[in-house]
Structure 1
Amino acid sequence: MKATIWHNPKCGTSRKTLAILENLSSIELTVVEYLKEPPSREKLEQLYKDAGIAPQEGLRLRGTDAEERGLPDADAATVLEAMVADPILINRPLVETGKGVRLCRPQDAVLEIL
């Protein structure tokens, strides 16, 4: 099975999710450090749609200025544009497999799509 993780190595939850994926020999894993290689607006939109969540639910609040910018109450298009312009606003990790997408908070959420 193929899996892609949008990963931030400084994030403990992201590291734990990555460890789960790396410990499965059946996984062909792609790791994308999204702060270095941010997803496009279209890719983000697709990830959230496939995860069944709104972009606002994938918005990182802690350690960002998202609340000061009014992003939690903004429409989806505004949130997506802000995330593309400033990828630190993307909550992580997002994992995509052939079975779906999950925002893996907590990390065990990844098991739902394996």
Structure 2
Amino acid sequence: MDSLSGKWLYEEDYSYGKAKGELFLKQIGKRLIGKIIFLENIDSSNSVMVQEFVEGEINGSQVILQATEYDIIHSDQSIFYELDCWKGVLLNEFTIEGESLDNQGIYGSFIFQKVQ
């Protein structure tokens, strides 16, 4: 299997809105490190641009990424952001799909698609 290292497009739907952005991953053995930068549209009234640094692993077809810290790149108001965790399945070498959960208990469904 090819390495997961590279750039991935990211889309997510969750109960409060949608997120869209890019994931930059580096794979070292089974270990994954990187960052995800995305625009989150909350209830269509407020949008937030966030960068989260992630660590994780791939085990077979299971992919887990856990955010370790974040920066708010842009927000119309001051916010406290909850770190995310993404648990997915590698469907093929270009697609990871799964569910996310943040520290507030908000679930979402996401897809990462590798940029060729």
Q: With structure 1 as the length reference, what TM-score do the two structures score? A: 0.27
- Which structure would you say has the larger RCO, counting Cα contacts within 8 Å and 6 or more residues apart? 1
Of Structure 1 and Structure 2, which has the larger fraction of its residues in helix? Answer: 1
Q: With structure 2 as the length reference, what TM-score do the two structures score? A: 0.27
